[in-house]
Structure 1
């Protein structure tokens, strides 16, 4: 185009634009449409490119990164992942928001803490995949672990550490590899085993029905496993129901049917303290993982005991090693047990007709346990999770579950693992529950050990146990008594209502004789 033509065209364009701007909006739209229709295809293509870049602005690429991070923090994790699939620019910008993805991971239950850089977006994807596997049940893989020794009968307790699974039965301990689930070790102990606790790297504490407590060193090498007794503790006059070890402060605590919890020196084996404030069997004992759980000042150790009617917390002065600037470095010993409080905190469990539910756990300074009352078989459950704050001593929030809980297995930052009572074959009774909403996220069917001993009637239904049979069954199981089968009259724990039950048992100690008289449970 010649210079004169260019100047003439520019004058015409300016004059046309001045007149165009004076037109009302309706006439402006009509003029534009007419001009587009009259334009050549090549002109229309160039117009499309120019209009798209002018009118269709990507707001996510134009906003400051701080504002994008603020907006994305209000978007749920699944929608945020779908937004990364819109375009490469969106994927690049959203994937770079590490703080947003980290907060999403925490809401999903991922409490991983490390100073190293982490791809939090990838961890969110893994967390969502795990939640989906909870819903479908694919997160739970059933693996039969069978013993190759006939003497290893019904397993009454299990624990694990560093790739080994340990199970107790009678006076034997079986050791399996968690990689191949093959039996790698089997050893006998001097007394009948009632409970166990694996601690440290390769150490095991066993409680016995004779009142003894023993500790063992487990050595595994290339598929072989050997055990050697390290120490024996004597003092209980009843069956040891629970045992817990804290290697950090060198203490072992045991609870028994003699209504006492005893604290022992792990290395020396001596009895350091006997806690006599219990009026029922001590069913669970443990040391809180944080030494400052009860007292924020970090100068006291603590211990938790559980009976059918109370949860009790005991504390005592700790012994700490300090540096030249009087800063706390590490715990030097188990502290002064002479200063142990009679009971720092006592939480009642049996008020308002509550039913004791096994499983008390400590997480982030809160005791978590189940409270529920007895209901009929055809009624829905009323279990609720209770969070008791140990730092203040006050009960915290409660979470209604509406289930019939058999045991609280584990508690984490976001979820809890709960075992329900048996409902119907292959129905989900192992559930993962959200600790904030109480919603069941999924689960699987876990067969109960009592199912094998229950006999069906002629209609192929399980008989409903009467109260006497259920009470006697629970007592026999807790005392580890031996049942003698008679060929003509085999014993049944869950007989039909109104039907007499004859069971011959061998009592293991004098206390069992006092608890059972003439086939009746005196403590019921």
Structure 2
């Protein structure tokens, strides 16, 4: 009976409390906002600690609604697509829920990666958020210069003690000097092979893990098979191509279509059959030395009616694009017709496109690259030493044949080294050692993202000339010394008139020597001309 009486009293108390609460809330809603705030603050202050704790939990769940967890995932993805990458990464640190939701937006992270220059494509799933972190870390290393780590590669085993050309392919670094080729591992930078060739080497192209093409100062081109076994490296000549009458300045190989192209100082580019060794075409439309050659992907954009192979040659004044019918084409019934793997080279000349480079014949900037159907090269004019540079990056569209957008760099560019989807790597002329001359630039804004100092051949070693008392570069003697070796010339000055190019023009204001051609001398014996 007592328990029943207690339960009835409790129910009466609850009813009274609910009635009082409803009346109080009704009066509270009629108060102005300022009085509502004053009432709430007074009640909180008068509440017990236990009540305050429960109030804190209730208010936190009521007032602090997490909009990211309430919105549909499609809307969250849309909102996050407008947030920059760094802010998005900071947002993942707000809470575990935010980290889980934002990290799952693979499409958003992939678009951020593309904006940062990451064009990686793969069928397997990729953690695009992790790749964004790597891309941002790399950008920061560009700014600080820590991305560029200089590694000295010992070349004392090479005859000249100076590497005159390098190339790399799949973990191997190839260096040439005189008539020798050194092979290093790009992992350890240790020498894994060294071999000699019959002629002085002027250029090289590594086109396979075991294949190397060499251009020579004698006008020959040779290809080599390289075998590496437990640190040892052996080389065997595979083919020799004869035909150039000048120094071979560049060589490029396309194993996919079985062609090799070489450019030389005889103003010609020659196309060879890689497997058979025969000369297929000689391109005679050049009026200067051919300094660069390469095979871009098939230029279906040049002639959309059929697939075409292509070839690019670069001289000091022009870039020329040649194209010809590809190895596979279709007939009227859309059936594939097979022809030679390198296509119909009879239609290669004249060139499909000619791009002028050096209008005033003053400045030529080496380095022409192809990316996404656009030829990218540098155009600039000569300025005084105290003036800023006026170099521009030109993106020449191969679809229309006209220059696309132009990016003003405002620098004196020595060479365009590489071009990617987002960034370009350029080498500037020699500067003070405290300033970087190897720069990474944004190909859309032209902004310099950082770099490092790199000594190179344009560095001037200044001296005080005894006669005119002005700083004078000493690179002419070095260039003459290289020319003497490449053309097999001999200095025949009299004993009382020694050559002044020795020491790279450090002994005299003018370079004054007399040269003799060794090959011509070898043909003459006893006053008679002997034919070989």
- Higher deviation after alignment, 121-130 or 156-165: 156-165
- Higher deviation after alignment, 332-341 or 468-477: 468-477
Task: Report if the CA contact (8 A) 2:425-2:439 is conserved.
Answer: yes
- Higher deviation after alignment, 312-321 or 323-332: 323-332
Q: Deviations over 1:110-140 (max 9, x none)?
A: 0000111110000001111111111111111
Q: Which residue of the partner structure matches residue 374 of structure 1? A: 382
- Please state how far the C-alpha of 1:16 moved relative to its aligned partner: 2.0
- Please state how far the C-alpha of 1:39 moved relative to its aligned partner: 2.2
Task: Report if the CA contact (8 A) 1:197-1:244 is conserved.
Answer: yes
Counterparts of residues 171-186 of structure 1 (less than 5 Å)? 171-186=179-194
Q: Deviations over 1:227-264 (max 9, x none)?
A: 11111111111111111000000000111111111101
- Which secondary structure state, in structure 2, belongs to the residue aligned with residue 44 of structure 1? helix
- Higher deviation after alignment, 41-50 or 101-110: 41-50
- Higher deviation after alignment, 291-300 or 401-410: 291-300
- Which secondary structure state, in structure 2, belongs to the residue aligned with residue 333 of structure 1? coil
Task: Report if the CA contact (8 A) 1:491-1:501 is conserved.
Answer: no
Counterparts of residues 151-230 of structure 1 (less than 5 Å)? 151-230=159-238
Matched residues in 2 for 1:329 and 1:89: separation? 59
Task: Report if the CA contact (8 A) 1:294-1:302 is conserved.
Answer: no
- Which secondary structure state, in structure 2, belongs to the residue aligned with residue 356 of structure 1? coil
Matched residues in 2 for 1:457 and 1:78: separation? 55
- Which secondary structure state, in structure 2, belongs to the residue aligned with residue 263 of structure 1? strand
Matched residues in 1 for 2:395 and 2:484: separation? 32
Matched residues in 2 for 1:302 and 1:130: separation? 35
Task: Report if the CA contact (8 A) 1:483-1:503 is conserved.
Answer: no
Q: Deviations over 1:444-472 (max 9, x none)?
A: 11111465977677999993339987996
- Please state how far the C-alpha of 1:498 moved relative to its aligned partner: 14
- Higher deviation after alignment, 178-187 or 498-507: 498-507
Question: What is the TM-score of this pair, normalised by structure 2?
Answer: 0.87
Computing the radius of gyration from Cα coordinates, the structure with the larger value is: 2
Matched residues in 2 for 1:517 and 1:379: separation? 56
Task: Report if the CA contact (8 A) 2:307-2:329 is conserved.
Answer: no
- Higher deviation after alignment, 23-32 or 72-81: 23-32
- Please state how far the C-alpha of 1:154 moved relative to its aligned partner: 2.1
Does 1:276 find its partner at 2:277?
no
Label 1:447 to 1:354 Cα distance change in 2 as closer, same or farther (>3 A): same
- Please state how far the C-alpha of 1:279 moved relative to its aligned partner: 0.6
- Please state how far the C-alpha of 1:33 moved relative to its aligned partner: 2.4
Please give the root-mean-square deviation of Cα atoms over the aligned residues, in Å. 5.2
Matched residues in 2 for 1:334 and 1:462: separation? 56
- Please state how far the C-alpha of 1:433 moved relative to its aligned partner: 0.9
Task: Report if the CA contact (8 A) 2:491-2:515 is conserved.
Answer: no
- Please state how far the C-alpha of 1:475 moved relative to its aligned partner: 6.6
Q: Deviations over 1:148-193 (max 9, x none)?
A: 4262432211111122111111111111222222222221111111
- Which secondary structure state, in structure 2, belongs to the residue aligned with residue 7 of structure 1? helix
Q: Which residue of the partner structure matches residue 129 of structure 1? A: 137
Matched residues in 1 for 2:528 and 2:151: separation? 40
Structure 1 portions without partners, runs of 5+: none
Label 1:453 to 1:78 Cα distance change in 2 as closer, same or farther (>3 A): same
- Aligned pairs, number: 523
Task: Report if the CA contact (8 A) 1:454-1:494 is conserved.
Answer: no
Q: Deviations over 1:307-356 (max 9, x none)?
A: 01100000011121789995769996000101224010000011156511
Structure 2 portions without partners, runs of 5+: 1-9
Task: Report if the CA contact (8 A) 1:484-1:504 is conserved.
Answer: no
Question: What is the TM-score of this pair, normalised by structure 1?
Answer: 0.88
Task: Report if the CA contact (8 A) 2:371-2:421 is conserved.
Answer: yes
